[in-house]
Amino acid sequence: MQKNLVICPVCRGPMGLEKGRFGLVYKCLNYPKCDVTHSATKNGTPLGFPSDARTRKARCELHDLMAKVWDYKNNDERAKMYSWLGQNSKYGHISMMSFGEIQQVMIKVNKLLAKKTQ
């Protein structure tokens, strides 16, 4: 099943492909000493960038924050959200953001949220 050898960017150990909550994910085989994960597409191609627990937590927070501005269940709203994210982030996807970029995008989302709730 595993086609790609993925090396953990933190401990340099190998990463194994597993089924996670949101599809396939590479997990560092040195877990629990190292908790880096890396999402993958359905055919096992690494997607986005490996992240540590701090970055993953920040991504979840950003996702929840953005859900207050755009209704993800509504297709139009979701399309608007992706278009906004495309203009306001390097890769247009939360799973590709570094911890630093998430902080910057969060500031912008908070501004939109403030406008929306005025």
Residues that bind Zn ion (CB under 5 A): 8, 10-11, 13, 28, 30, 34, 36
- Nearer Cβ to Zn ion (11/65): 11
Distance separating alpha carbons of residues 38 and 47, to the nearest angstrom: 7
Residue 16 β-bridge partners: 27
- Nearer Cβ to Zn ion (13/46): 13
Q: What's the min distance (Å) between Cβ of 12 and Zn ion?
A: 7
- Residue 55 contacts residue 99 (beta carbons within 8 Å): yes
Cβ neighbours of residue 98 closer than 8 Å, sequence gap 6 or more: 49, 55
- Residue 24 contacts residue 42 (beta carbons within 8 Å): yes
- Nearer Cβ to Zn ion (21/33): 33
Q: What's the min distance (Å) between Cβ of 99 and Zn ion?
A: 17
Residue labelled with tokens 């994210």: 85
- Nearer Cβ to Zn ion (51/89): 51
Residue labelled with tokens 């953990």: 8
